[in-house]
């Protein structure tokens, strides 16, 4: 794992420490890591949504489509 050091103004540092404590995190760096992972997941989801929106229609979403989808899950 690579280490990354950042400097924060006192106001942001206090905010991060308070958020970490409120979430029950062991340390502020765990809170920041969670924020970064959340942003990474959000970007992945956005990319998937945009790829889906740009793709051609796969077919009509009729009752048979939903029946097959329910059977798969």
Q: Does the pTM of the predicted model rise above 0.85?
A: no
pLDDT band at residue 45, thresholds of 50, 70 and 90? very high
* Sequence ranges of the domains in the chain: 10-55
- Decide if pLDDT at 20 tops 90: yes
| Per-residue CA distances from 46 to 12, 36, 56, 70 (Å) | 28, 15, 18, 25
Structure tokens that stand for 68 in this block: 């097959």
């Amino acid at each position: 794992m690579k280490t990354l050091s950042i400097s924060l103004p006192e106001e942001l540092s206090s905010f991060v420490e308070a958020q970490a404590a409120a979430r029950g995190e062991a340390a502020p760096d765990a809170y920041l890591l969670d924020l970064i992972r959340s942003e990474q997941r959000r970007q992945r989801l956005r990319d998937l949504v945009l790829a889906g929106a740009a793709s051609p229609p796969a077919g009509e979403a009729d009752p048979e489509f939903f029946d097959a989808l329910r059977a798969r899950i």
